[in-house]
Amino acid sequence: MKFLKGLFFLLALPVLLVLLWWISTIVNPTFFVPSPGELVGTFFDTWFGERFTNDLLPSLGRLSLGIIGSVVVGVGLGLLIGSFRPLRQLLEPLLEFFRAIPPPVLLPLLMIVMGVNWRMQVFVIIFGSLWPVLLNTVEGVRATDEVQRDTARSYGLGRMARLRYLILPAAAPQILTGVRQSLSIALILMVISELFYTSSGLGFTIVQFQRNFAIPEMWSGILLLGLIGLALAVLFRYVERYILRWYHGLREVQRES
């Protein structure tokens, strides 16, 4: 019964929206909005062929590298900055300055400095999506209980042991909150980085469809981006549940008590 209830809440709204969409295309058909059946057929014809290897896989590769890079850089710098108060006070104005710069603004400069290649595109993704990870990691480290830190020092735990057994577990919920926020940003920046001076990728292909008035193909690309975002969210949910299984178990015990 619980499974059926969860399935209902998961599918009820999407099914209702598709039904309303289908009815609207029958009552008021338009060139700019394909029917659900036409879109599904176009989706498979468009993306399960040559474009799968030429556009989809390269985009997913750049997206994966950007997400991994933003997590590694964000967590690494966040742990370092959060652990040393003088360093945090020194870098805070600089971090706020760079965080305020929209990554798309840097595209012309990066094209000149790095050239138009996959490295530039990955750098744009990393630069734009690392800030939620970095700032949440800094705040998570800062929020670590001082009494626990002092206790760990009094028991003779070294810096690396305190980092592994105290700071990282304590900051993990907030770090993963930043990672969740960075996923959607990375997907957006993947598309933006492929809009200019490139000849492949999802962003480039969707814009080409739009310029050539290939409306069903354009909508199929938008649908594909939504499915990628959904897949990232589902995958992250399982990863988060695994990493924070102790945290969620503790919350369940607290609720029961």
User: Where residue 196 sits, what CATH number does that domain have?
Assistant: 1.10.3720.10
In this predicted structure, what is the pLDDT of residue 60? Answer: 94
Range of the domain at 57: 42-256
Residue 28 lies in a domain: no
Contact between 190 and 125 under an 8 Å Cβ cutoff? The reply is yes
Longest Cα separation, the chain: 74
Which has more pLDDT, 157 or 234? Answer: 234
Which has more pLDDT, 201 or 246? Answer: 201
Express each pLDDT in 106-157 by its tens digit. 777 877 788 778 888 899 899 889 999 999 999 898 888 777 777 777 777 7
Residue 23 lies in a domain: no
**Of 26-35, 40-49, 188-197, which one has max mean pLDDT?**
40-49
Alpha-helix runs per DSSP H in the chain: 2-27, 36-47, 50-51, 57-83, 85-99, 107-114, 118-142, 146-154, 159-162, 168-193, 202-211, 215-243, 245-256
In this predicted structure, what is the pLDDT of residue 68? Answer: 96
C-beta atoms surrounding 176 within 10 Å: 20
Residue 61: pLDDT over 90 = yes
Residue 20 lies in a domain: no
Contact between 86 and 142 under an 8 Å Cβ cutoff? The reply is no
Residue 33 lies in a domain: no
Residue 124 lies in a domain: yes
In this predicted structure, what is the pLDDT of residue 21? Answer: 86
HSE-CB for 82 with a 13 A CA cutoff = 25
Which has more pLDDT, 244 or 132? Answer: 132
C-beta atoms surrounding 136 within 10 Å: 25
Residue 73 lies in a domain: yes
In this predicted structure, what is the pLDDT of residue 152? Answer: 77
In this predicted structure, what is the pLDDT of residue 254? Answer: 58
Residue with tokens 């409306």: 215
Contact between 82 and 162 under an 8 Å Cβ cutoff? The reply is no
In this predicted structure, what is the pLDDT of residue 250? Answer: 61
Residue 17 lies in a domain: no
Residue 75 lies in a domain: yes
> In the chain, how many domains are there?
1
Contact between 115 and 65 under an 8 Å Cβ cutoff? The reply is no
